[in-house]
Amino acid sequence: DMYILRRFAEFAKATIKLRSDLPAILDEFATRLFEELDYGNEAGNSVRFKGLYGSIEGLVVPEVYMPFCSRHVITMEWLQGTKPPWAEGPGRGRARDVPQSERDEWKMLVRTGVKCNLKQLLDDGFFHADPHSGNLLRTTDGKLGYLDFGMMSTLPSQRRYAVIVAIV
């Protein structure tokens, strides 16, 4: 299927004057897609992520059982929890409808997520490229759990410095 899409992209690039390199974009998409489907790669990403960020207070990264993982199978710790509060849908999860204690927990989850994301992007450069509400979890003990490490990326130090300079 990717081969057919790439041939179409090459044809489109040759016949339609595009300012973007459609085949290169498709190649990048295909690379990320195949990385996402390789559970051995995902297991390695998870172990690396846990090593870099697992010590952040309030953050949980599931344990991976490497002897039981392969390209087609990943075996990891089950995290019990619920969707984070910002994923509860329209009309639900609004601060005015929630007790103060739960709002305080939400703030802690957000702070933990921000701290983790800033460390990913600015300190280490290895980041979770798909942190949507389906890949984040509020654990039963009120921590922020990260899931699904199939789509990760690395931000080179020069780009990290450029982001820091732009912010400061």
Annotated catalytic sites, by residue? 130
Q: Are β-strands 59-60 and 144-146 bridged in parallel, bridged antiparallel, or unpaired? A: parallel
Distances, alpha carbon 68 to alpha carbons 35, 71, 124, in Å? 19, 11, 28
Q: How far is it, in rounded angstroms, from Cα 43 to Cα 37? A: 11
Q: Which amino acid is located at 163 in the chain?
A: V
Give Rg (Cα) of the chain: 19
DSSP calls for 41-54: HHHHHHHHHHHHHT
Local structure of residue 146 (DSSP, 8 states): E
Q: Are β-strands 152-154 and 136-139 bridged in parallel, bridged antiparallel, or unpaired? A: unpaired
Nearest to 50 by CA among 79, 25, 80, 93: 79
